[in-house]
Amino acid sequence: MTLYPRPLQAGDTIRVVAPSRSLAYVEQGEAGRYVKQLANARLADLGISVSFGENVRESDMFWSSSAESRAADLHDAFADPEVAGIMSVIGGFTSNEVLPHLDFDLIAANPKFMCGNSDISAIANAVYARTGVATYIGPHWSTLGMRDHSEVTRAGFEHAAFGLDPIEWQPGTWFTDDDWFINQDGRVREPDDGWWPIQAGTAHGVALGANLGTLGLLAGTEFMPSLERAILFAEVTGKYSVMDFRRELVALLQMPDGEGIEGVVIGRFQTASRVTRAMLEETIASIPELEGKPVIANASFGHTNPLLTFPVGGEAQVRVLDDASIRFPRLET
């Protein structure tokens, strides 16, 4: 049975760690310093103090550091009784390197709210697989430094982090897809036509995901969660084509327990991918392993904004019939 960590509350401290890219990557220049200042201020507005891992600024030519340093910061965060929650600095490419160095017994004995996305999917799913503790896919600490158009992302994070009541997602009406962390001025909302119901059905299972390629890195390792009763939340980044997406999705479906995937929720593709609803409809219709299972696309998670928060390892309910719904009951179940 999944264990949900204690929600955050005013007066708590969160620890910012860098399991993937370094804080040095974010802090570059005036723009980076502004992101840091605003992210801390946004958390302070919620009554949350921020501390940083000892090694978060270590940086090599890949804007990362040794796996041992990154693991040490995670261990310190889980072991410190003054720390109530953990957030990643940002994503990157190397968080799976940390997994063999993690003390999962320590993490299981000190369950805490932990949130990040993208490359952090490796750690989020591994922690759930090895401990049964729910983790959260949602904004990085640095994401909270987005000045404009961040209201939906921040509201979703606050709802997920500060309580255990159900989370119910809503379709988007707009989105942004830009390098906001480089230039926060002149950003424009693009119209969003909401969810794309790709294939009808209903499913109730365990939420896993979200970055599809990163989750796939765990295949065949001790860190891969079971796909039995899985509701797969799948997103990709940048110029990923529909064929890139299809290949990685089918690879998971072909795992020994891949037939246990009960439904798929696909995050909004970035504009550069040029992926359309018609492409996804034809793709899903041609994958026999998904026949009769609900599939919904263009949900607000991934590498665009808004970025909604959900619990990895938590129960998820997906319905695609005359209407559609995506719901995480949490302690209601």
Residues with catalytic annotation?
A: 118, 235, 303
Based on the number of CB atoms within 10 Å of its own CB, is 141 exposed (0-12), middle (13-18) or buried (19 or more)?
buried
Q: How far apart are the first and last CA of the chain?
A: 11
Could you identify the residue written with the tokens 């996305």? 117
Tokens of 151: 């209201």
The answer to whether the beta carbons of residues 308 and 138 sit under 8 Å apart is yes
What's 138-158 look like in SS3? CCCCHHHHCCCCCHHHHHHHH
CA distance 95 to 276: 30
Report, in this order, helix, strand and coil percent for the chain, each rounded to 5.
35, 25, 40
CA distance 63 to 56: 11
Q: Decide: 160 and 311 in contact? Cβ < 8 Å.
A: yes
Phi, psi of 41 (to 5 degrees): -65, -40
Edge-to-edge, what's the strand order for the sheet holding 230-235? Answer: 167-168, 324-328, 315-320, 201-211, 230-235, 261-268, 295-302, 196-199
